[in-house]
Amino acid sequence: MKQRRKSLLRYAKDIDCDTIVTFEPENLFYMTGFWGEAIGLLEKNGKTTIIAPELEVGRAQEESQDCEIIKGERGVGLLSSLVKKLEGSKNVCTDCQNYSVMMSLKKSVKKIKSSTDPFYNARMIKDENEIKILKKASKIIDEMFELCTKKMRLGQKESELQTILMQYAMEQQMFDTGYKSTLNPLIIAGGPNGALPHAQVTDRKFKKGDMVVTDLTLRYKGYVSDATRTFAMGKISKKASDAYEIVKESQRLGLQSVKPNVDCKEVDAACRKYIEEKNYGQYFIHSTGHGIGLEVHELPTVSYRSTTKLNENMAITVEPGIYIENKFGIRIEDSLIVKQQRPIIMHKFTKDLVTL
């Protein structure tokens, strides 16, 4: 935790700040070890304070590491307690995105700016404990893919498979990410539904010839692992079979390109170029990958627009896909850790086409 705080302060210094305030639970957890409703304060000498309402104080005391816990009233009361702690402080950085809260703080704090940069920059590089958790999360997801091979069947609803998988996940202490852009914990998309990269789970039943995109993105001990496999339900069309092999090779090339000091956009290019050469470029309609950690999508972005270079111990996904409207979708995705010689690919479940 000390090393994380040093890193946060180093990145805060890059934007001329020496004190950090966090309102976001992911950043609070990263900085203190506590995930809950509270405000976190990190001072330039490394002293860390959690300002929490009474209903969160007990848990904050149990779960945080080396923090002073201050009790405050919910809402405005927490802000008042924060302002008292910031008396005389200059050059404060906060991840607060709330306009009214920022206006209130600016009345009392001499110099405060809203920026998520210190948090996202620090969180890009994973420490040993974070990598250990991500590996365990990925292992559970592999077990869920194995479960698919045993439980998926013709006539089964997407929603029924989701229930089976989520029951298993929760038994392993793995939970929904709470990702705001979806109403479902998983993506399970059969047949034409698979042509929608972020399809909602429906009551559609699996049919012969379906490709079924199964995207498992779940949280374990705070950290998110993300992987996708596409299954075949019986005999599929030659077009679908050919497209699957193209995506598989594209992903292999992308994984092969992952090394420290390589531009993220080069990983995207490695995947995209191959799919374009096979005349499917127009059907690869999203970026190649993204960072993972305390959020589903965090830095770095693995796309043609990225200006970031890969560094050792970054955690990213590589997930090319092909989507044919009203027919099928195919995506193959792994979460991995960037390493000097070759990446640690955290998912071991086969990428050969599994026919059920």
User: Residue 217: beta bridge partners?
Assistant: 226
Indicate if the pLDDT at residue 108 is higher than 90: no
User: When comparing pLDDT for 106 and 68, which is higher?
Assistant: 68
- CA distances (Å), origin 19, targets 34, 197, 210, 250: 19, 40, 54, 44
Indicate if the pLDDT at residue 5 is higher than 80: yes
Phi/psi of residue 205, each to 5°?
-90, 145
Q: What is the pLDDT of residue 136?
A: 98
The pTM score is 0.94
Domain 2-123 CATH superfamily: Creatinase/prolidase N-terminal domain (3.40.350.10)
Ordered by start, the domain boundaries in the chain are: 2-123, 125-345
List, in sequence order, the alpha helices (H) in the chain.
Answer: 2-14, 25-32, 54-63, 76-85, 99-108, 117-124, 128-151, 158-171, 238-256, 264-277
Decide the pairing of beta strands 344-345 and 334-337.
Answer: antiparallel
- CA distances (Å), origin 36, targets 22, 60, 99, 100: 12, 8, 22, 21
Q: What is the pLDDT of residue 211?
A: 98
Q: What is the pLDDT of residue 89?
A: 79
pLDDT band at 75 (very low <50, low <70, confident <90, very high): confident
Closest listed residue to residue 316, CA positions, set 350, 347, 341? 347
pLDDT band at 299 (very low <50, low <70, confident <90, very high): very high
Backbone dihedral region of 159: left (phi > 0), alpha (psi from -120 to 50 degrees) or beta?
alpha
Q: What is the CATH T-level fold of the domain 125-345, as seen in this structure?
A: Creatine Amidinohydrolase (3.90.230)
Burial of 289 (0-12, 13-18, 19+ CB in 10 A): buried
Indicate if the pLDDT at residue 139 is higher than 90: yes
- CA distances (Å), origin 221, targets 22, 26, 80, 130, 258: 20, 12, 32, 10, 26
Is 33 within 8 Å of 64 (Cβ atoms)? yes
- Give the number of other Cβ atoms within 10 Å of residue 180's Cβ: 7
Decide the pairing of beta strands 289-291 and 298-302.
Answer: antiparallel
CA 193, distance to chain mean position in Å, is 23
What percentage of the chain has pLDDT greater than the value 70?
100
Is 272 within 8 Å of 320 (Cβ atoms)? yes
Q: Tell me the average pLDDT of the chain.
A: 96
Contacts of 292 (CB under 8 A, 6+ apart): 134, 223, 224, 225, 226, 298, 315, 316, 317, 335
pLDDT band at 76 (very low <50, low <70, confident <90, very high): confident
Indicate if the pLDDT at residue 114 is higher than 90: yes
Q: What is the pLDDT of residue 59?
A: 97
**pLDDT tens per residue, range 244-297:** 999 999 999 999 999 999 999 999 999 999 999 999 999 999 999 999 999 999
Range from 76-90, 181-195, 320-334 carrying the lowest mean pLDDT:
76-90
Indicate if the pLDDT at residue 88 is higher than 80: no
Indicate if the pLDDT at residue 339 is higher than 90: yes
Q: What is the pLDDT of residue 284?
A: 98
